[in-house]
Structures are given as C-alpha cells and as structure tokens.
Structure 1
Amino acid sequence: MKINKIFSLLMASVTLLFCACQPIVDSESLSNTTDVAGVELVATQSTPGGNKITLQMATPGITGYWDYNLGRAFTDKIEFVYPIPGTATFTFTGTLGKEFFTKTVDVQVDVLDNPLDQDWYDLVSEDTAAGKTWVFDGGPSPDGKKWWYMSPPNDAASYTTAWWNAAGDCCPPVDAAGSMTFDLNGAANFTYVSGPGAAPQVGSFVLDVANQTLQVNNANILGAEEPRGNPNGLYQIISLTDTEMILYVPNNGGGTGWTWVFKAQ
C-alpha cells in the first residue's frame, strides 16, 4: 500500500513538472480589421481647386500617420495650406491590425487662394512659379568676408564664429560663382548651376517651416563639396528673409559645423 502511494505521488510530481515545462501559448492573435481597399481616405479643399486642404483617414480602428509632403502628421486628420499648384499625392501609412499598409490620395491644386507662410515667399519670391535665384554673399574670390566657413559643431547659436574662414581667406568652393534657384512651378523644384555656362542640375526641395530646415534632394546646394556639405541634403535655417539666407550644418563629414551665407540674386 505504501509502495502504491509513493508511486502515485511520484507520478503526480512528474506530471506537474512536465506541465510546468510546457510553454504558455497565448491563444489570442492579431487579425486585420479590414483590407487596404476598405481603408477610406478623404481629401477636401476649402474651395474648388484651392490650396487649403483637409486630409482624413475615415475608417474606424485604423491607426497611422499622414505624409503630406511638407512633413508628417501623426493623426487621422490634418488641415494645411499647400504651396504647390498641380496634382499632389498624399500618403497614409498605418496598420490593419496584423500588417502595415500605405495608401495614397491625389488632390488637384489649381490656385493658391490661401496665403503661404512668409518663409515660402522669402525663399521662392511672390511669383512662386518663376522662383528666386540665390548666390553666395561674397566672392567668388577670397575677399575677407564670411560667406562659407567652418563653425563650431552642434551649436547653431555659434554660427557666426569662424574657426576657419575658408572662402574669405584663401579657399572658396569650386562653385563659388554658381547659383541655385527655388521655384514652385508644378512641384518644389531646385536647380543648381555650378558656374556661368554650366549645365543645370535639377532636384527638389522640402521647406519645413515649423522646424526651420531645408531639405535638398537629388542635387547639391552651392559649396556642398566634401567634407563640408551634408550627404543627407538637410540644412538648418539660421536666417531666411527676402534678401538673405543663412544655412548651417551641425556636424559635417569633417566633424565640424559649417555655415553658408547666400543673398538673393
């Protein structure tokens, strides 16, 4: 009898030990609440063809964010004034539940009937389709002025400090006599010319008014030769007026800051 009890206790212990070693499986799993086709994106304009736009993701249970080309909005609904005439494509990225998706909506902007932030006019002029051309505020030969120079890193407030006044003292960039033009003729267009008679290089740009940055894509700004420029094309705006634009990079390929001073041509 005792042997039977001991055997029973032993078997019970083995059973408990076996159960304790089994992984706990969560029977719950993520599932999609709809498919991509079921996600409703709504775009409205305050006036027909106007540039004040509201974007809304109208499907319940979907979370994500809008990329509205001027920035990102981590919300279902956003209203903004768009600066570029033509067909604009806006993207919503979100999750259906167990998988991510992207979906776009197009908006046709025919007229800029709502005024833009002043920074846009300062950068591209009041005639946004024609645009504005910018050149270095100095040179193209060394002239003692500060218009392309090494600055302390990671400190935009010290941009006026020239650790090395490269262009002013001895060594202007190879494109010191060049130009760059920003316009909104159907898109945010950026045109770089390295010097008189040189072939233009065309790219695009993003002006982030809220964060005071200028992103240049598929082209260089003047004086972006390595290691002074920024391979990512992102520059911090120190000053932007109708006649002056000062850009700064906090940490370039050479491990320092760098400052550019431009003037409207």
Structure 2
Amino acid sequence: MNHNLFKNNIKRILSSWNTLFLIVYSLALTTIQYITFNQFNYNYEPSVFFRMIGFDMTGYGTSMYIYSLPLLAALFGSGIFVNDKKINFHPAILGRIGRKEYYNTQLFQSFVLGGSAVIIPYLFHSLIFFMLYPMTNPDILQSYIGFGTKQIWLLQLLFYHPLLLWFVYVVFLFLVGGLLAQIGLVMSYRIKTKYFEILAPFLVVYALFLVANIINKGAINPISYLTLRELTNFTISQVMVNLVIWLGLVSIIFVIWHKQTRGEYSDG
C-alpha cells in the first residue's frame, strides 16, 4: 500500500462536499431520533442505551440510519476509482507507483472510508445522547420485554456491560460499512454507468432483502441483524447463514480486485 497516496486521497475526500453532507446528516439523524423515540416507554428506564439508535425501535432514527447505511458507505468509499479517472489522475499514478500498489491502496482506502462514514454519524449521535441521559446499566426488570431470548449472551452484555456492547456494535457497523463500500468500488471496475458505484451496495442489500422475503427466510436479510432487537431473535444457524453470505460477498470483492490488479479489466 502506498501511504502517500492514501493520505492524499483522505485529504481530498475530507475537503469535498461529502464531508459537509455527513455533518448535516449526523445532526439530522440525532435530532430525528431524539424527537421521535417513545419517551413513555422509558419512564422507568433511566439508561441511555435503550434510547439509542440500534437499541431503540420506537423512533425513526434507527430505520433512517440502517436503510441509508449502504448509501453512506458508498458515498465515501466507493467512488475512488471513478473520481481518479474524472480528474485524469488514474494513468499518472499507475505509471508512478504501479498497478498492484495502486489497487491495494484503493481497496484499503475504500474500506476505511466506508466504515468511517457509517460510524461517524453514530458516534455523533452517541455523544449527544451520552450527555443527555445517564450511562447506567439498563434495568433488567423494566427492559426485558421486546427482546428475543435466542442470543442470551447479547442480553447479558446489554444489561451488565452495555458500554462494551455499544463498542462491539460500533466495530460491527464499521466492518459492514467497509465491506459495502468495497462492493461499490469493485463494481466500478466492471460497470461504467454513471453513479452505479454509489448505488451498487444499496442494490446488493435490497436484492438480498427481496430474496429473503420471497423465500421467507429473514436470516439472509442483511438489514435485519443491524439492530440489537433483531439480533437477539436469531438462532446460531441463522447467524451462520449470514456469515456465509458475507464471506461470499467478500470473495467476490477479492476476485474482481485480483483480476483488476492483473490488468484483466480495462482501466479506462
């Protein structure tokens, strides 16, 4: 990986309009969740965690965040290759650092940018809510209703180590965002349609969502396990199905990326 190229590309992204959009989105997301979550549900539950996106399902913030997650990841991490071609930077950098190093840097940068774009709004939302509500352990007697019992270890983390669960959730979101961004990136190697790299992650997620509904198997719906309440209802076999699906997507990413580094696809 070329560190200078990585740093320059990060600076270029941070100075773009995408950064302003992410700030506005973070403010809007936090405001919507604060306004819309059901205050009455938590009259006897002081803990901040049950009011937060991904934990709470009564407000619109969770739905807004989860369904826009693929687009957030793609907006920051999927357009690197296309942007380089737009400014005619692509042939120059290929000649200077070589094909393999260029595409190695792209893949890593896409993962970092996609994951960061996904967690930054969530971190901002968390910071605001942590200042507004107590960071206490949830009351197990008040809060157990609404959660499944198939993943007891998640419930134990939630009630006894909620901050650790929050951290695990953030890492999980980062990984998902990074992989979704890479899907858009590698698709831009093959498909030259304008803005397709932005839509590709969303289309992949939506396609899996449709398949899940058609065959009545919610386990292959990638949206469903991005909320804690749904995760607690998953069986081990359903979790394994999801892992297989994501491993399949990762395999596709690396196959296309490997072919690109070898020059099997056009750079133009």
**Is TM-score (shorter-chain normalized) higher than 0.5?**
no
Higher relative contact order (CA 8 A, sep 6+): 2
State the TM-score, normalizing by the size of structure 2: 0.20
TM-score between both structures, scaled by the size of structure 1: 0.21
User: Is the helix fraction higher in 1 or 2?
Assistant: 2
More strand by share: 1
Pair member with larger Rg: 1
